[in-house]
Amino acid sequence: MLALFQEDGLRQVLQEMEALYEQNQADVNEAKSFGRSDLIPSIKLRHCCLLRNQRCITAYLYDRLLRIRALRWEYGSVLPANVRFHMSAEEVQWFGQYKKSLASFMRSLGEGEGLDITQDIKPPKSLYIQVRCLKDHGEFEIEDGTVILLKKNSQHFLPRWKCEQLIRQGVLEHVVS
């Protein structure tokens, strides 16, 4: 879901922007001191390029932030290592701060008791659901210590809250019969 952070590409764009800006600076000085009004279109052109590059970079960074925010809802507060590898240092920091503010928001709900709003995103129909394992996921440990072996094509009947994460990740499939 999240591609590798394009450090090189970003640097190239910034270098390009710097180069354009310097050229523009030089031209503006020249136009002011020597009154060369024929340089003005090129100055305008470079200025437009600079603005476009800025828009592209901010769009890129913003899109990544939105995806990282969605990761919190999908994977929970601990991200798997391969996803974290794709994030830049600033993004990791941002993710940490987002986690903190979400956690403090959740704590403040329900008159100080706290409510985990990442559970039960769709209204549940029953306490326990029947799930089918779509791929080998190995052993799955739940909070109270019980371990379930998730082998492909095995079916389980488990409490809803234990399965929700895995259903979202596509390891389990909810069976309605």
> What CA–CA distances, in Å, run from 161 to 68, 120, 167?
23, 7, 10
Q: At its nearest, how many Å lie between another protein and the CB of residue 86? A: 33
123: phi then psi, degrees, rounded to nearest 5: -60, 125
With binding defined as CB under 8 A, does residue 39 bind another protein? no
Question: Considering only residues 106-135, where is the footprint of another protein by CB under 8 A?
Answer: 127-128, 130, 132
Question: Considering only residues 131-160, where is the footprint of another protein by CB under 8 A?
Answer: 132, 146-149, 151-159
Query: Given the complex with another protein, which of 23 and 155 has the nearer CB atom?
Result: 155
Q: At its nearest, how many Å lie between another protein and the CB of residue 177? A: 4
d(CA 23, CA 17): 10
d(CA 155, CA 129): 11
154: phi then psi, degrees, rounded to nearest 5: -90, 150
Q: How many residues bind another protein (CB under 8 A)?
A: 19
Query: What is the DSSP-derived secondary structure letter of residue 5?
Result: P
Q: At its nearest, how many Å lie between another protein and the CB of residue 161? A: 13
Structure tokens at 135: 């791929």
Query: Given the complex with another protein, which of 66 and 176 has the nearer CB atom?
Result: 176
- Would you tell me which residues interact with another protein (CB under 8 A)? 127-128, 130, 132, 146-149, 151-159, 176-177
